Amino acid sequence: MKSIRMSHWLLIALGGWALLMSLWITAGEPGTYSRQPLWIALVPLMLIGGWFAMDALTALGESLNSKPAIRAVNLAIPAVFAALILVLWQLIVTGFAVPQVLLPAPSTIGVTFITELQTLAQDFAQTWLKAVLAGWIIGCGSGFAVALLIDRSPFLQKGLLPIGNIMSSIPIVGIAPIMVMWFGFDWQSKAAVVVIMTFFPMLVNTLAGLHASDNLHLNLLHTYAGNRRQTLWYVQLPAALPFIFNALKLNSTLALIGAIVAEFFGTPIVGMGFRISTEVGRMNMDMVWATILVAALAGSISYGLLALLERRLTFWHPSTRANG
More confident residue, 304 or 152: 304
Angstrom distance (rounded) from CA 18 to CA 21 = 5
CA 151 to chain centre: 30
Contact 198, 251 (CB under 8 A): yes
Report pLDDT for 218.
61
Contact 242, 319 (CB under 8 A): yes
Instruction: Classify residue 153 by its DSSP letter.
Output: -
Report pLDDT for 1.
41
Reported pTM = 0.78
- Segments in the chain forming alpha helices (H): 6-26, 36-63, 67-95, 106-115, 117-124, 133-150, 154-169, 172-183, 187-210, 215-223, 228-231, 237-262, 272-281, 285-313, 318-322
Please write the tens of the pLDDT for every residue from 119-144.
999 999 999 999 999 999 999 999 99
Task: Domain ranges for the chain, please list them.
Answer: 6-98, 113-322
Banded pLDDT at 202 (limits 50, 70, 90)? very high
- Please give the CATH number for the structural domain made up of 113-322: 1.10.3720.10
CA 286 to chain centre: 21
Mean pLDDT score of the chain, rounded to an integer?
79
Report pLDDT for 79.
80
Angstrom distance (rounded) from CA 291 to CA 195 = 23
CA 284 to chain centre: 25
Report pLDDT for 267.
76
Please write the tens of the pLDDT for every residue from 275-289.
998 888 888 898 999
Angstrom distance (rounded) from CA 48 to CA 291 = 32
Please write the tens of the pLDDT for every residue from 132-182.
999 999 999 999 998 888 877 777 777 777 777 777 777 777 888 888 888
Task: For the beta carbon of residue 133, count every other beta carbon within 10 angstroms.
Answer: 17
